[in-house]
């Protein structure tokens, strides 16, 4: 029995270490204003639940960040149409149309799935019940930016998977009730 418990403990430690993953993101101060003509998307993951669960965030086939629990990160991008995909055990897409010089907010919520946490993106605007909290979380959670060298390697490793998902998305998900939207007017002007 004692050997069995040691074996279980050993497996638990291995899984815990493996779930923490590598260092993909670097801590930084929040971006208060993007480059002129750019949009700023604020991703906040306030929950401690599933803190070690790594969630990759994509803009189409471009990896833009990795997020763990109790973190935030910002993505500065060109205005226009985007498809943000949060990927863990579950994939959560958000179609976005962004205006230049505007800030947008997406709250990342996690629920436990079969093997890992299931991530859900929640686009918020001034009329959403999470709006005030999202602004507060953006100010209080540690803010990160991506380490380009590690993200480039991870993006390359997952290129085939994301391409397969984008094909699936186009034929099975787009236009269904599973699609969430971030509209141009959901952003706030940055002065």
**162 has a pLDDT exceeding 50:** yes
Q: Rounded distance, CA 93 to CA 178, Å?
A: 8
Residue 184 in contact with residue 100, Cβ under 8 Å? no
Residue 67 in contact with residue 43, Cβ under 8 Å? yes
pTM, entire model: 0.82
DSSP state letters, 27-79:
E-PPPSSPSTT-EEEEEEE---TTTT--EEEEETTEEEEEE-SSEEEEEEE-S
Residue-wise pLDDT for 98-135, tens only, equals 999 999 999 998 877 666 667 889 999 999 999 999 99
Nearest to 56 by CA among 28, 89, 31, 83: 89
Instruction: Report residue 165 as tokens.
Output: 């998902």
Instruction: Report residue 39 as tokens.
Output: 């949009």
């Amino acid at each position: 029995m004692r050997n069995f418990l040691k074996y279980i403990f050993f497996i638990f430690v291995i899984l815990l270490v493996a779930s923490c993953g590598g260092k993909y993101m670097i801590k930084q101060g929040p971006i208060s204003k993007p480059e002129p003509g750019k949009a700023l998307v604020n991703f906040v993951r306030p929950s401690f639940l599933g803190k070690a669960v790594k969630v990759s965030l994509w803009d189409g086939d471009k990896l833009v960040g990795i997020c763990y629990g109790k973190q935030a990160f910002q993505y500065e991008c060109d205005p226009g149409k985007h498809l943000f995909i949060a990927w863990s055990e579950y994939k959560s897409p958000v179609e976005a149309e962004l205006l230049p010089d505007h800030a947008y907010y997406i709250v990342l919520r996690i629920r436990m799935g079969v093997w890992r946490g299931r991530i859900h993106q929640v686009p918020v605007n001034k009329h959403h019940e999470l709006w005030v909290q999202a602004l507060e979380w953006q100010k209080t959670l540690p803010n990160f930016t991506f380490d380009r060298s590690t993200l480039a390697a991870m993006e390359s490793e997952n290129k085939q998977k994301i391409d397969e998902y984008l094909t699936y998305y186009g034929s099975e998900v787009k236009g269904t009730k599973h699609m969430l939207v971030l509209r141009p007017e959901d952003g706030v002007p940055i002065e």
